[in-house]
Amino acid sequence: MGRSSKDKRDVYYRLAKEEGWRARSAFKLLQINEEFEIFEGVTKVVDLCAAPGSWSQVLSRKLRCNAENPEDIKIVAVDLQAMASLPGVTQIQGDITKISTAEKIISYFQGESADLVVCDGAPDVTGLHDLDEYIQAQLLLAALNITTHLLKKGGTFVAKIFRGKDVTLLYSQLKIFFKKVTVAKPRSSRNSSIEAFAVCEEYDPPEDYVPNMMNPLLDLQYDDFNQLTGVNRLIVPFVACGDLSAFDSDRTYPLQLKDAENYAYRPPTQVPIDPPYKEAVMLKRQNKLAKPEFQISHVTPTGSSAHHTDKSLSGESNTTTIDCESEKLQLSDSNIEQL
Ligand SMILES: C[S@@+](CC[C@H](N)C(=O)[O-])C[C@H]1O[C@@H](n2cnc3c(N)ncnc32)[C@H](O)[C@@H]1O
């Protein structure tokens, strides 16, 4: 597969490089802002789970450009991973589930509150959907807990969610703290992905609510929330955002609409500076990476299908060997492609 095939396959990946964004997710925040105008009047913002930094880039470009004095804009970016620096963005490397991280952010604002908190946090996906959704929800709730320490009354919180089966509980939790909760699906977020964004407006915590990081928000007997029916069931508005003329992230577009020969491949804007897979990539380049062969066993019940003669369908165990070597690890392109 040539380098440009990724550019063709994913138009937002290509545009991210053309416009100098570190990841294609920049377009998600831009399209959310087009719909909800979340940057309006914002001078202090926290970007949780910010690496490699495309949302921080959007915040820095948009807020600082529109400010009379760019130095008045305070942007704090927090992530487990280190991130290359950006103009006007203060970085905190830390875990958003930890109170110590919340304390560092609070001390940076010196008693002032944030106007906006955004969180694009995603755990490493295991492929076990229930588990992935649960961990994602826990991350969002950690972000919400931090937000309750930082956000001014009336402020906005935007967070990535997975629209899994327990998402109704999340909406209920968010509705306790915000007057308005909407689920947004930007055009740049693939339809094939269960990802969406909760846009929570008008922060208004319950009276006497004391923020703390210990809220076991998801550990309730929450099945009941999903069994509510009729008027008791919380229906949160769902909004597709991004202009209809925007590119469809599930479509493939030609590289250059008018003259294909003009197409020039661009490298990614910013290579991740210390990604967790760095060592594996280095070992791979030196040909020192172990090459495991793993086996997949297909076991099907005897006689399940009369017209199949394949051994694998006759109740025996059939083994396929897959060579992991065919999976290419690419350090520089991986971020823009995946986010
Ligand atoms: C999808 S990426 C964010 C992309 C980013 N918004 C951008 O535009 O470049 C998800 C990030 O969540 C971070 N993350 C996951 N769990 C975290 C945690 N507990 N604390 C802080 N960051 C976390 C990961 O390190 C990863 O960088």
Using CB distances shorter than 6 Å, the residues near ligand 1 are: 22-23, 25-26, 49-55, 79-81, 95-97, 120-123, 139, 339
- Alpha helices by DSSP H, 26-68: 26-36, 54-66
Burial group, residue 92, by CB count within 10 angstroms (0-12, 13-18, 19+): middle
What's the average model confidence in pLDDT over 115-133?
Answer: 87
Residue 122 phi/psi, 5-degree rounding, is -145, 130
Other CB atoms closer than 10 Å to residue 129's CB: what's the count?
13
Q: What is d(CA 188, CA 243) in angstroms, rounded to the nearest whole number?
A: 10
Query: Could you report the per-residue pLDDT of 14-65, keeping only the tens digit for each?
Result: 999 999 999 999 999 999 999 999 999 999 999 999 999 999 999 999 999 9
Instruction: Strands of the chain (E only): list them.
Output: 44-48, 74-79, 89-93, 114-119, 151-162, 178-186, 195-203, 238-241, 293-298, 318-323
Tell me the torsion sign for CA atoms 156, 217, 143, 43: positive
> How far, in Å, is the centroid of ligand 1 from the Cα of 54?
11
Q: Which residue has the higher pLDDT, 205 or 273?
A: 205
What's the average model confidence in pLDDT over 195-215?
Answer: 87
Q: What is the DSSP letter of 205?
A: P
Query: Which three-class secondary structure state does DSSP give residue 184?
Result: strand
C-alpha separations of 327 from 255, 324, 330, 336 in Å: 25, 6, 10, 18
- 2 in a labelled binding site: no
Give this prediction's pTM: 0.78
Both tokens of 255, joined, read 């590289």
> How far, in Å, is the centroid of ligand 1 from the Cα of 122?
6
What's the average model confidence in pLDDT over 123-130?
Answer: 81
- 95 in a labelled binding site: yes
Q: Which residue has the higher pLDDT, 319 or 299?
A: 299
Say yes or no to pLDDT of 12 above 70. Answer: yes
Tell me the torsion sign for CA atoms 325, 190, 177, 75: positive
Angle, helices 54-66 vs 26-36, to 10°: value is: 40
Q: How confident is the model at residue 318 (pLDDT cuts 50, 70, 90)?
A: very low
Half-sphere exposure of 68 (CA within 13 A, CB side): 1
Query: Which three-class secondary structure state does DSSP give residue 79?
Result: strand
**pLDDT at res. 153:** 96
Among 39-43, 68-72, 73-77, the minimum mean pLDDT is found in 68-72
Q: Which residue has the higher pLDDT, 282 or 59?
A: 59
Burial group, residue 151, by CB count within 10 angstroms (0-12, 13-18, 19+): buried
Angle formed at CA 301 by CA 296 and CA 306, multiple of 5 degrees? 115
Say yes or no to pLDDT of 71 above 60. Answer: yes
Question: Which protein residue has the closest C-alpha to ligand 1 atom 19?
Answer: 95
Residue 284 phi/psi, 5-degree rounding, is -65, -45
Helices (H) and strands (E) in the chain, counts: 10, 10
Q: Residue 154 carries which side chain, given as an amino acid letter?
A: G
Q: What is the DSSP letter of 23?
A: S
Active-site pick, 28, 160, 185, 284: 160
* 194 Rama class: left (phi>0) / alpha (psi -120 to 50) / beta: alpha
- 55 in a labelled binding site: yes
Query: Which three-class secondary structure state does DSSP give residue 269?
Result: coil
The mean of the pLDDT values for the chain is 79
311 is catalytic: no
Q: How confident is the model at residue 103 (pLDDT cuts 50, 70, 90)?
A: confident
